[in-house]
Structure 1
Amino acid sequence: MTQRLATGDSAPDFTLLDAEGNKVSLSSLRGGNVVVYFYPAAATPGCTTEACDFRDNLASLGAAGYRVLGISPDPVRKLAAFSEQESLTFPLLSDEDHAVAEAYGAWGEKKNYGKTYEGLIRSTVVVDAEGRVALAQYNVRATGHVAKLRRDLGIDR
């Protein structure tokens, strides 16, 4: 299992392609707070619920000084279709080799219907303006996660 990040850790930098094929680097967003959330697969029920929840809360997160990046092992093509279908207005990034997920502790052993396998662990890491982990949450639930995250960050509606 990969090492999980904790508050105060230096957030690993990364550069990934977004749904439009543009490079996005965490370091280019330094100076502001970034919510980096990892989800297993675009266009699946739980991931759609979570993505739409982030979309619907994007304005209030932005007003509180947070940008949102979604990361999955999906190829750019699939992310583009998902983003368009759900009218997502924040970057979805492709981590096909799951190197970034591993660096963030979001890749590891999972169990589903009695089977054990390696996969993406639904996780959220908030990176502060200096590039340090402000909050790290692992094994989060898709439904209600953004509301809990808002509470944990002290963002009121």
Structure 2
Amino acid sequence: MTERVILEPGTPAPDFALLDQDGTERKLSDFRGEKLVIFFYPQAMTPACTTEACEFQESTAPLAAAGYRVIGISRDKVDKLRRFADRDGLKYPLLSDPDTATHRAYGTFGEKNSYGRIVEGVIRSTFVIDADGTIEHALYNIKATGHVARIVKLLGA
């Protein structure tokens, strides 16, 4: 296995070009000038990921008031992301990274401990990126429940 990248605050966020739930290509560079909260989650429509995604949806107004946009990234295909967004009323971009290239660039795919077993998979993580595309916060291996409240507090939203 390749060594996992760990991004640190102050480093440039890796660019990406991924399709959203509507099939529209979204690039990190398209959001230059905006502050972002990007969260990587293992799989759409699973209980923990649904909890996290819905908590982000519930927090989009206070985050937007503090100047942040939310983006979710998973390995799911575009059609599944569309179903997820429709089912749970998710209004922010959900990006599809089926080949895990963006996950790997952010260090969110690799070996992890899953119920006592070492497996390769998505490492639930969140990044706060400033308007210039620099990482402000890199939070790896977080728990879905309560995480969004921690982000909101961290950002003073």
Same fold judged by TM-score > 0.5? yes
The worse-fitting range, judged by mean Cα deviation, of 104-113 and 13-22 is: 104-113
Find the aligned partners of 1:15 and 1:3 in 2 and give their Cα distance.
19
2:153 is matched with which residue: 128, 151, 154? Answer: 151
- 1:114 Cα deviation (Å)? 3.1
2:45 corresponds in structure 1 to 43
In structure 1, the gaps of 5 or more residues are: none
Contact conserved, 2:66 with 2:156, CA < 8 A, in 1?
no
In structure 2, the gaps of 5 or more residues are: none
- 1:76 Cα deviation (Å)? 0.6
Find the aligned partners of 1:131 and 1:37 in 2 and give their Cα distance.
15
The superposition leaves residues 42-92 of structure 1 with CA deviations (integer Å, 9 ceiling, x where unpaired) of 000000000000000101101110001000001111111111000100010
TM-score calculated relative to the size of structure 1: 0.96
2:61 corresponds in structure 1 to 59
Say how many residue pairs are matched: 155
Note the aligned Cα RMSD (angstroms): 0.8
- 1:115 Cα deviation (Å)? 2.4
- 1:136 Cα deviation (Å)? 0.5
Matched AA of 2:18: L
2:88 corresponds in structure 1 to 86
Find the aligned partners of 1:18 and 1:91 in 2 and give their Cα distance.
6
Query: Structure 1: which 4+ aligned runs deviate by more than 2 Å?
Result: none
Matched AA of 1:77: D
Matched AA of 1:113: Y
Find the aligned partners of 1:60 and 1:152 in 2 and give their Cα distance.
12
- Residue pairs, 1:53-132, within 5 angstroms: 53-132=55-134
1:16 corresponds in structure 2 to 18
Contact conserved, 2:59 with 2:152, CA < 8 A, in 1?
no
- 1:15 Cα deviation (Å)? 0.8
- % same residue: 52
